[in-house]
């Protein structure tokens, strides 16, 4: 299962990078969305299951119950989702403003009009 999740994360990274290299502003936004989701999936996939006993357990501390989830990767992914959504919202607003001001969505034509 972990191998499949890692492959899916890799495909999302590849698709996101491909979309970022396109000339259309909406495709750039989709690329950012794919990269954000790929990073979240990779972070969650890379999290290791809990050990039997924590390495720095206090004397007399018992091991967590079987099947207990590690809360740290879950907290990191939740934080990454919020940050990714904020970056996506900011980039979307920036791209909308760019389109309104320059009346163009093709980034090559935007560069030509500046010169």
The rounded percent of the chain whose pLDDT value lies above 90 is: 22
Q: Rounded to an integer, what distance in angstroms lies between the CA atom of residue 92 and that of residue 26?
A: 8
pLDDT in tens, 24-73: 888 888 999 999 999 988 888 877 665 555 566 666 666 666 666 677 88
Give the span between the Cα atoms of 31 and 92, in whole angstroms. Answer: 12
CATH class as words, domain 2-48+71-114: mainly alpha
């Amino acid at each position: 299962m972990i191998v499949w999740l890692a492959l899916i994360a890799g495909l999302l990274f590849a698709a996101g990078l491909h979309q970022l290299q396109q000339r259309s502003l909406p495709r750039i936004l989709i690329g950012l969305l794919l990269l954000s989701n790929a990073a979240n999936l990779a972070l969650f996939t890379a999290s290791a299951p809990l050990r039997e006993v924590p390495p720095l357990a206090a004397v007399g501390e018992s091991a967590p119950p079987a099947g207990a989830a590690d809360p740290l990767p879950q907290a990191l992914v939740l934080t990454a989702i919020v940050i990714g959504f904020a970056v996506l919202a900011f980039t979307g607003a920036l791209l909308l403003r760019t389109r309104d001001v320059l009346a163009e969505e093709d980034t090559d034509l935007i560069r030509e009009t500046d010169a």
